[in-house]
Amino acid sequence: MAAAGGWRPETTLPEIAFAGRSNVGKSSLINALVHRKKLARVSNTPGRTREINFFEVNGTFILADLPGYGYARVSKEAKAAWRPLIEGYLQQTPALRGVVLLLDARRPPTDDDLQMLDFLASLETPTLIVATKVDKLRAAERQSRIETLALEAGVDVEQVIPFSAVSGAGRDELAGAVAQLVGADRA
């Protein structure tokens, strides 16, 4: 696997990739999902991680943590680097069962997000959309914002999982959906 800079597991386990732009809350979500505080680094220096990190979760699947993309302050070259790395990985991973794409619940998807959505649709890879940081939305506006986000992203609202690493909202639903993807070939 030429594209990956991190440890690449020698395994036949199914793989689930997590993608999103820098600072969307991916490290926090991964930590919440696997209940292991030290598994993924929580970073407030967006744009620094430029490799794919792999974690084996409970002996059942490989979690591939793709580099955060599209951070405004990184150089043009660094910006251009994420695309072949991420796209190459997604195209060349036969064990890939699905992708979890994180979008900030409070903001319209960026051009990079929309390009990623298009790319995933073209691969026909099962994709879960997670709307992150929903604790920052007032309860009364949450549902309508999620509906708008689904429209903006061009996905079915049923495909969007509202999530908060702070409150724990959506954690169990996401874990269940990931487990379904992992087991999808055995269903």
Query: Using CA atoms, how far apart are residues 58 and 122, in angstroms rounded to an integer?
Result: 31
The DSSP annotation for 117-153 comes to: HHHHHHHT--EEEEEE-GGGS-HHHHHHHHHHHHHHH
Q: CB under 6 A: which stretch of 88-96, 133-141, 146-154, 170-178 binds ligand GDP?
A: 133-141
- Under the binding rule (CB under 6 A), the answer on residue 24 touching ligand GDP is yes
Closest CA to 78 of 47, 32, 44, 115: 47
Least distance between ligand GDP and beta carbon 130 (Å): 10
Please classify residue 26 by burial: count the beta carbons closer than 10 Å to its beta carbon, then call 0-12 exposed, 13-18 middle and 19+ buried.
buried
Q: CB under 6 A: which stretch of 11-19, 52-60, 110-118, 162-170 binds ligand GDP?
A: 162-170
Q: CB under 6 A: which stretch of 23-31, 84-92, 112-120, 151-159 binds ligand GDP?
A: 23-31
- Under the binding rule (CB under 6 A), the answer on residue 132 touching ligand GDP is yes
- What is the contact surface with ligand GDP in residues (CB under 6 A)? 20, 22-28, 42-44, 46, 68, 132-133, 135-136, 164-166
